[in-house]
Amino acid sequence: MLQIVLGLLLGLLIGMGCRWFDIPSPAPPRIVGALLVVAMTLGFLMTDYLIA
């Protein structure tokens, strides 16, 4: 649980830093693009779980 919270916090801080310093964000700027990244990550994790 701690790893999830730290991961979310780190992502939030990176996003805030990119916005604050006007650096292009490494994530998609639209919610659909962000959901695509989440879906790919979940697919990767589920496949890893099923194979193991």
Task: Give 35-47 pLDDT, tens digit per residue.
Answer: 878 888 888 888 8
3-state secondary structure of 6: helix
Distance CA(7)–CA(30), nearest Å, equals 20
Distance CA(34)–CA(16), nearest Å, equals 15
Tell me if 28 sits within 8 A of 36, measured CB to CB.
yes
> Can you tell me which residue has the tokens 């979310």?
8
Kindly indicate the confidence band of residue 8, based on its pLDDT and cuts at 50, 70 and 90.
Answer: confident
Distance CA(36)–CA(29), nearest Å, equals 12
